Structure 1
């Protein structure tokens, strides 16, 4: 895949097996996974499997979530990117925007900054006409980011037992 995006403060690159420790540190934190439908990880082998799954998405779909690395210290602080979802909320083969960060990096604008780069890539390089996203109705921070990016709330649906807002951003509405 070898896609590489850069923002003012961050680098987005393929997720590698070497990222397993950073992944585990993030996804073993109950606050991080509170709204994403998974339980906190308890063993690094779970992170290794998640990374294998993401790397398979690169091969099978040509796209997957990317590691977010700070330029200033080369530290992985989370992930951001697109994922091809075969079926969700009565939609098939949609591209979903998602992001997740370690709590010490929350509130720094990284979700917005990386999402803008990812959406530019989606609309200008992949030539997509729309991108979807969803977030737990109680995840106020994530819902705020999606609305700030211009996503339109379409409806709600149940995912993994949680009520989520379903969003769409059309290419012509992306600024």
Structure 2
């Protein structure tokens, strides 16, 4: 399934491409952005290019993956968001769709995570017909927790990652079927 770009009021969500590596590297190398991700910031753009290839492979294999978020006003990639089919265990679970997002710090606090996430929830529940979407956040990441709760996600579990306590969230499809 090829996914067309999704437009919101202020954003364009599009499949990641090789040309996005430079802007994506700004995210990947930023210690503030990576603080609650559980991995160290990267120092070589080649790792970002490899990550883009992995995500493009997820598009082919699973029909979904994280997308570039382009702010319409500036025309630049400001982060990524999207649904991902989780195939490696998180909180002892696999085979579920996870909502995720990550933005450059200068775009924090502007509602872009919420705006892009709403588009992905509509896509997942509407176009994909999912019954449930999951998410998780580090217990100290109050901004992400606030966003998930504002979107209607319910905290249903806690689990430990190597970098600390994480909260597990679930959102059931409430669209008419």
The TM tier, using the shorter chain, reads over 0.9
Match of 1:88 in 2: 90
- Contact 2:138–2:164 (Cα < 8 Å) also in 1: yes
Count of residues in Structure 1 that have an aligned counterpart in Structure 2: 174
Give the whole-Å Cα distance in 2 for the aligned partners of 1:10 and 1:59.
24
Give the whole-Å Cα distance in 1 for the aligned partners of 2:60 and 2:164.
30
Give the whole-Å Cα distance in 1 for the aligned partners of 2:158 and 2:128.
27
Paired residue for 2:138, among 136, 139, 142?
136
Structure 1 segments of 4 or more deviating over 2 A? 159-162
Q: Which secondary structure state, in structure 1, belongs to the residue aligned with residue 73 of structure 2?
A: coil
Q: Which secondary structure state, in structure 2, belongs to the residue aligned with residue 25 of structure 1?
A: helix
Match of 1:12 in 2: 13
1:71 and 2:64 are equivalent in the alignment: no
- Contact 2:3–2:64 (Cα < 8 Å) also in 1: no
* Structure 1 residue 71: Cα displacement: 1.0
Match of 2:112 in 1: 110
Question: Which TM-score applies when normalising by structure 2?
Answer: 0.95
Question: Which TM-score applies when normalising by structure 1?
Answer: 0.96
Match of 2:60 in 1: 59
| Root-mean-square deviation (Å) | 1.3
Give the whole-Å Cα distance in 1 for the aligned partners of 2:8 and 2:63.
21
Q: Which runs of 5+ in 2 are unaligned?
A: none
1:145 and 2:154 are equivalent in the alignment: no
